[in-house]
Amino acid sequence: MDRLHILENKTLRIIVADHGAELVSVWDKESGSERIWTADPAVWNRHAPILFPFVGKVADGKYRVNGKEYRMKTQHGFARDLDFSCADETACSVTHVLEASDHTREIYPFDFRLTVRHSLYENQVRKLRVDWAVENTGNERMYYSIGGHPGFLIPGNVRKEDCLICFPGRESLRYFGVNASGFALPENRHDLICRDGKVCYQQDIPDTWIFENQEIQEVGIALPDGTPYITINCGQFPMLAVWANPKGSFICLEPWFGRTDDEGFQGSLQQKTGMEILEIRQKKEISYTIEFHG
């Protein structure tokens, strides 16, 4: 049975699971409402998965590294589908760890340690911090991608298509989408015009926007009248995606290192767009915050 961990302050009640070290619930005590997608299996059976060691798909379900070929049939890697160990827990934080195993080495040949920490702030009661540490514990250079995929539940009296996606301080951005199989189409870029740093998430816009090298410091969701609903500080990340399943009342804001393969990509892992590199015994620390506005 999946073990759950509860973090709590006077405003928010956070639940994080051992399975995937996934954020599965944020209950807003003041409004009496859930703020994270409920993982309805008929629509999308996730809440806020961690994408590691790949973001998106690899072409033909296989990839090549150091002269060998490996299979990765699932998208977004494997961390979201494995049980992490709980390394530390307090009233306001929980830390999980996933390490390489015989199972992971069959599909990803590197030794690694992935540490995930969710924590609440003492004086910012509506903000959640997410920290990752990716460590190369092996004896060779390591290649990986990592990303967040939190799904934010839209209030029941609001259509998600009428919500505003917020890019503070930006007048315009460029994005590209994916094809029907989930592979990137970077040659087909579109201009996104922001009005007062906001754009309406309409049905006629592709369901996935990928922003690459756009230096986005913050992204958020506002209700149709402009009231702030969610803000993510993602200044460390070179890529960002916005995605919403047409059938579900949620919008995902996804800070990424790395992304899905281009359509038709046949190169090696070293040539894959956005791959991160860790030398032997090197570690990279990454963080972002989510504010749940009242």
Tell which residue, 3, 6, 22, has the closest CA to residue 93: 6
Has residue 204 got a pLDDT over 70? Answer: no
Tell which residue, 196, 152, 160, has the closest CA to residue 25: 152
| Rounded Cα gap, residues 75 and 78, in angstroms | 8
Q: Given pLDDT bands bounded at 50, 70 and 90, which one contains residue 272?
A: very high
DSSP 8-class letter at 101: -
Structure confidence by residue, pLDDT tens digits, 208-234: 999 999 999 999 999 999 999 999 999
| Confidence at residue 179, expressed as pLDDT on a 0 to 100 scale | 93
| Confidence at residue 246, expressed as pLDDT on a 0 to 100 scale | 86
Q: Given pLDDT bands bounded at 50, 70 and 90, which one contains residue 70?
A: very high
Average pLDDT over residues 197-201: 93
Q: Nearest-5° angle of CA 206, CA 159, CA 238? A: 45
| Confidence at residue 43, expressed as pLDDT on a 0 to 100 scale | 95
Its sign, for the CA torsion 120, 128, 288, 103, is: positive
| Rounded Cα gap, residues 152 and 292, in angstroms | 10
Query: Which ranges of 49-135 would DSSP assign to H, the alpha helix?
Result: 102-107
Q: Given pLDDT bands bounded at 50, 70 and 90, which one contains residue 122?
A: confident
Has residue 207 got a pLDDT over 80? Answer: no
Q: What is the CB neighbour count within 10 angstroms for residue 203?
A: 10
| Rounded Cα gap, residues 184 and 262, in angstroms | 4
| Rounded Cα gap, residues 133 and 120, in angstroms | 18
| Rounded Cα gap, residues 160 and 247, in angstroms | 10
Has residue 2 got a pLDDT over 90? Answer: no
In whole numbers, what is the pLDDT of the chain averaged over residues? 95
Structure confidence by residue, pLDDT tens digits, 129-171: 999 999 999 999 999 999 999 999 999 999 999 999 999 999 9
Query: Which ranges of the chain would DSSP assign to H, the alpha helix?
Result: 102-107
| Confidence at residue 237, expressed as pLDDT on a 0 to 100 scale | 97
| Confidence at residue 1, expressed as pLDDT on a 0 to 100 scale | 52
Tell which residue, 251, 283, 259, has the closest CA to residue 176: 259
Structure confidence by residue, pLDDT tens digits, 24-60: 999 999 999 999 999 999 999 999 999 999 999 999 8
Q: Taking a C-beta distance cutoff of 8 angstroms, is the pair 51, 77 a contact?
A: yes
Q: Which domains does the chain have, with CATH numbers?
A: 4-292 (2.70.98.10)
Tell which residue, 244, 267, 250, has the closest CA to residue 63: 267
